[in-house]
Amino acid sequence: MRLWVKWSTWLCLSLMVWTAAVESTHNHPTRTESAACSICVVAHSASPTVSSSQSAPVFAAVGLLREEDVIAKARFDFSDQGIRGPPAL
């Protein structure tokens, strides 16, 4: 990776960390100052309401699963592999 990419990445990450620390620890001596602070206004504002114009989903069965038993037909015959028996004494 190029050197300038690494430095810009570390710069952006450190700015994010410092901004988060400052936003979470700042305070105001009076209520009038906190009313004019954009960070405090956003933090204490009401949660936005959720609105949707989509209709409710319709759940319907589109088919049934039919299971069938599977029986494996194994063939285990030594004569096909050419294995001879033990030597006779």
List the chain domain ranges.
1-44
| Buried/exposed 48-73: b ≥16 CB within 10 Å, e otherwise | eeeeeeeeeeeeeeeeeeeeeeeeee
At residue 64, φ and ψ (nearest 5 deg) are: -115, 145
Q: How many CB atoms lie within 10 A of CB 28?
A: 13
pLDDT value at position 66? Answer: 82
pLDDT per residue of the chain (89 residues) written in tens, 0 to 9: 689 999 999 999 999 999 888 888 888 888 788 778 888 877 777 666 677 777 787 888 888 888 888 887 766 655 556 666 677 76
pLDDT value at position 5? Answer: 92
Separation between Cα atoms, residue 52 and residue 39, nearest integer Å: 28
- Helix H, strand E, coil C: the string for 30-66 is CHHHHHHCHHHHHHCCCCCCCCCCCCCCCCCCCCCCC
